[in-house]
């Protein structure tokens, strides 16, 4: 039976590297790329192409639409990466606090392991998002592999 791996993705270089690591290290695994829209984070900009000065009002319908658009860009990138590695990939989306959603998904979907970047997005939120990896490591019901890459830090 194939292992099922969960790889949280947010468009950051380290989340892409974590996905590559999962593909390269576990070529026979079923990989699920999970993106979490965090409504508690006012400046939702995981992609460097987004101008946060034009961010819609936090929590507004326009804000959630922007977050969904960004999510689709993230999923396009991870699908391209999966195609490059010639592996099947499933994408999933959740809304909530990232660490909690990652852990809940692992518990609810018979996940065998989690592979994630040591920190997520770029810029000021980077330090805060490092705590997501820490919380997942501390509370995960399954083995967690944290990918770090000096070139992307």
Q: What is the pLDDT of residues 6-64, one digit of tens each?
A: 999 999 899 999 999 999 999 999 999 999 998 886 655 444 445 555 677 777 888 88
How far apart are alpha carbons 9 and 12 in whole angstroms? Answer: 8
- Rounded to a whole number of angstroms, the distance between the first and last alpha carbons of the chain is 36
pLDDT digits (tens, 9 = 90+) for 125-140: 444 346 888 899 999 9
Task: Return d(Cα 50, Cα 17) in angstroms, integer.
Answer: 21
Domain with 25 in it: 4-152
Q: How many CB atoms lie within 10 A of CB 19?
A: 27
Give the pLDDT score at 125: 43
Element containing residue 141 per DSSP (H, E): none
Identify the CA nearest to 49 among candidates 35, 70, 71, 68. 70
Check: pTM over 0.95? Answer yes or no.
Answer: no
What is the number of domains present in the chain?
1
CATH number of the domain that residue 11 is part of: 3.40.50.620
Residue in 148, 146, 10, 19 with CA at minimum distance from that of residue 81:
19
For residue 4, pLDDT beyond 80: yes
Q: What are phi and psi of 38, to 5 degrees?
A: -100, 100
């Amino acid at each position: 039976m194939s292992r099922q791996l969960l790889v949280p993705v947010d468009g950051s270089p380290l989340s892409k590297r974590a996905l590559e690591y999962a593909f390269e290290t576990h070529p026979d695994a079923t990989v699920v790329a999970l993106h979490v829209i965090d409504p508690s984070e006012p400046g939702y900009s995981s992609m460097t192409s987004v101008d946060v000065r034009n961010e819609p009002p936090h929590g507004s319908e326009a804000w959630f639409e922007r977050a969904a658009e960004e999510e689709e860009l993230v999923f396009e990138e991870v699908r391209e990466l999966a195609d490059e590695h010639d592996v099947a990939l499933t994408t999933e989306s959740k809304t909530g606090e990232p660490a909690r959603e990652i852990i809940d998904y692992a518990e609810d979907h018979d996940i065998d392991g989690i592979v994630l970047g040591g920190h997520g997005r770029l810029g000021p939120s980077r330090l805060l998002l490092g705590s997501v990896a820490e919380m997942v490591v501390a509370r995960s019901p399954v083995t967690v592999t944290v990918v770090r890459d000096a070139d992307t830090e």
